[in-house]
Amino acid sequence: MCGIIGVKINQPSEKVAKNLLRIFKNQKNRGTDGAGLSLLRKGELTRIRTSDPFTLFSFEYGEFWNTLQKGDCILVHHRLPTNGGGGNRLKSNHPFANENNTCHLIHNGIVSNDDELFKQLINKGHRFESKVQGDITDSEVLVHLVEKDAKGGCQKIIDKARGSIAIAFQYAGDDKIYLWRRSNPIEVYKDKQDNCYFSSEFPEGMGFKKIKELGEHKLYSLSDRHLSLIKTYKQPKVVHTTYPDFGGYNDRYYANREFYFDKKLDTWAEKEKKVKRNAWNDWRRY
């Protein structure tokens, strides 16, 4: 579990940093072991990663927050301990970037088949900064799936990636934040200055106006003063759940529950698969 936060700035204000900090404090139980930030300004992407989320909002970055501009898009991520980085914690911090730094992405959730996707992407020439001595941060596979375009990238996630996924990403040369989710939540709010925020969860009593809790398998964008629905995707027939059930199985296997839509009964049904227990190595890092 991680925390994702972001804002599309329509009216620069000193309150933006304060609002982001309050949102972060509200969900800091989602992790304080690493943090990062992506800024999209006039088509250019800049990335900052720190070992402590509070550092992002400290005096050290005061100049950054005091020079915000209209149109800026900001993604913020904070996390629990994770694999990858080979002892360099910053290498396993979000946002993740593709090879030529044209796409930045943050993720809340777990990609349970990241090893499989990693092998496929490596064979296609992709490089991974969190891949050190056999470990990888699972979220990094997602930036390579969406790096070319948002619509096609989210379809790739639906077709190929298993697990719980809530993502925010943005592209160089663009002026939008893209949002997509499965299982894990994303909520969108506005402040009194008409700046649009998104987050895993929002604190009450902050004076925000709720715009929407995003639907599953739908691609949205934050641009100017609007939240726009870009594409609704067909629900997959099988949805792989994140959490294994260890009860009743020997040391080599656990039960992985899957849900599928039975057209004959016109309802969702559930089944169990026996999966090799070495998948525990993916589960335990979260």
Phi first, then psi: what are they for 55, rounded to 5°? -60, -35
pLDDT over threshold 90, residue 252: no
Which residues contact residue 106 at a Cβ distance below 8 angstroms, ignoring those fewer than 6 apart?
A: 2, 4, 6, 36, 38, 75, 76, 77, 94, 95, 96, 139, 167, 168, 169
Q: pTM to 2 decimals?
A: 0.81
Element at 146 (helix H, strand E):
helix 140-146
CATH topology assigned to domain 2-232 = Glutamine Phosphoribosylpyrophosphate, subunit 1, domain 1 (3.60.20)
Query: In whole angstroms, how far apart are CA 151 and each of 171, 218, 257?
Result: 13, 10, 28
Beta strands at 73-79 and 44-50: parallel, antiparallel or unpaired: unpaired
Task: Round to whole Å and give the CA distance between 6 and 223.
Answer: 12
Q: What residue spans define the domains of the chain?
A: 2-232, 238-283
pLDDT tens for each residue of 82-123 = 554 444 467 778 899 999 999 999 999 999 998 899 999 989
CA-CA-CA-CA torsion sign (172, 178, 183, 188): positive
pLDDT on residue 263: 55
